Chains A and B, each alone.
Chain A
């Protein structure tokens, strides 16, 4: 699937597609990894308020190299900018915003997602992963969760599984999953394939997805190029 694309292009494709999901007025937390590419793929005047766990509402795109300031960073610890009207606050205020239910959408990476939408995104059994960050706070309290992932793990195993075999991040469920080849909605504990990338086939997706999923009657082609998404997107 998408064999001609390098990993970096696939990450950008996912970030671009998720940018289209975000609507004006939403407060959206961007987690570590692919999600913190999204600020560079929003339309001008998008009206989305990007929240960063390290204490920022109103995150803007990556600055040019000569304007980097490591005192102004995203959750991935990459330099970013401030949108007009941005505010900066402490980590405790930031997590009060997260845990108090004030985040409309949390976009996060995952190691596995079960077919019901359970999320495993902090630990792999037998591996030295000593980090949880804000993942469990977001899973416990964000109004909705959108998962931005590569389709397969680094050792080519399905990330979309029937049941989690990695430790769960909480007891709440994700609503959407977007990877390089597909856009899936999770409704009533069922995965429904809504879009498929033009360079993927249903057979490929079925062969590389352990989770049961249904195919939407009106299955659409995922817009993957800047051109297909309308002008003005990077």
Chain B
């Protein structure tokens, strides 16, 4: 049993993912499997309430792992992200016509989510100019250089992974597991953060906090996965 300091935002993974509806758009943190909210993803798969999801995430995990599990269980209709080749199941689902894919350059994806979270409807960027991914987009020249118009991205729900929360919901991250998680926390109507540990408010240094609590609606404890030999694996014993 994992000891947890009580927080008003704390819910079980089951309670948290009940808020996700059929057809919702979901921002999902992670770069490959690093910084992935594994417990929440597994719970969505098992609960099997919400299907036809649009997943906005850099990748779709790996074959059978992380978002790869949610793909194989048939819950994803569309994936929006920068790199899906590393999950062969995603490539096959796409070629069978079972998965819609929208490819966005990684920096454009990150900035579109940042804009979505910051109340910026759209922005211009040089990334993608002259490429097939930029084809058909509105173009404008600034300072003599061509730019493309890109709209901000928001989603109904964000599920993210942090290392530690305090009881208010302030978040800190661990090493490069930070990646897309902080920016995704800003760009959804409902933000669910999966953490390893919750401490009392005041125990995190203000300068250390990366995501302020006002962005976070629900905290869920990762009680399913542990790090063994540097890799996350499912705990062998069901949590008590």
> Contact residues of A with B, CB < 8 Å?
52-56, 66-73, 77, 79, 82, 88-92, 94-96, 98-99, 123, 128-137, 140-141, 167-171
Categorize the interface residue count of chain B: 35 or more
Question: Other than the known A55-B31, A94-B110, A133-B83, what 17 A-B pairs have Cβ atoms closer than 8 Å?
Answer: A68-B231, A69-B227, A69-B230, A70-B231, A71-B176, A72-B176, A90-B180, A91-B106, A91-B110, A95-B110, A98-B107, A99-B126, A131-B103, A132-B82, A133-B82, A133-B106, A141-B126
CA distance A92 to B29 in the complex (A): 12
Chain A residue nearest in CB terms to B231: A70
CA distance A135 to B106 in the complex (A): 8
Cβ contact within 8 Å between B177 and A91: no
CA distance A128 to B31 in the complex (A): 21
Cβ contact within 8 Å between A70 and B33: yes
21 contacting pairs across A/B (C-beta < 8 A): A54-B179, A69-B230, A70-B34, A70-B231, A70-B232, A77-B31, A88-B173, A91-B106, A92-B114, A99-B127, A130-B94, A131-B83, A131-B103, A132-B83, A132-B105, A133-B83, A136-B105, A136-B107, A137-B127, A140-B127, A167-B131
Kindly identify which residue among A73, A77, A134 contacts B106, using a CB–CB cutoff of 8 Å: A134
Q: Does chain A have a CB within 8 A of B32?
A: yes
* Pairs A-B, 7 closest by C-beta atoms: A95-B107, A137-B107, A68-B230, A131-B83, A131-B85, A171-B130, A130-B84
Q: Does chain A have a CB within 8 A of B178?
A: yes
Chain A CB count within 10 A is highest, among B84, B128, B174, for: B128
Kindly identify which residue among A52, A72, A129 contacts B85, using a CB–CB cutoff of 8 Å: A129
Chain A residue nearest in CB terms to B230: A68
Q: Does chain A have a CB within 8 A of B194?
A: no
Complex interface residues of chain B between 152 and 188 (CB less than 8 A to chain A):
173-183
Q: Does chain A have a CB within 8 A of B95?
A: yes
Q: Does chain A have a CB within 8 A of B223?
A: no
Cβ contact within 8 Å between A54 and B176: yes
Cβ contact within 8 Å between A137 and B108: yes
Map CB proximity to A onto B97-111 as digits: 1 under 8 Å, 0 otherwise: 000010111111011
Within 8 Å CB of B33, what residues of A? 70, 77
CA distance A49 to B110 in the complex (A): 23
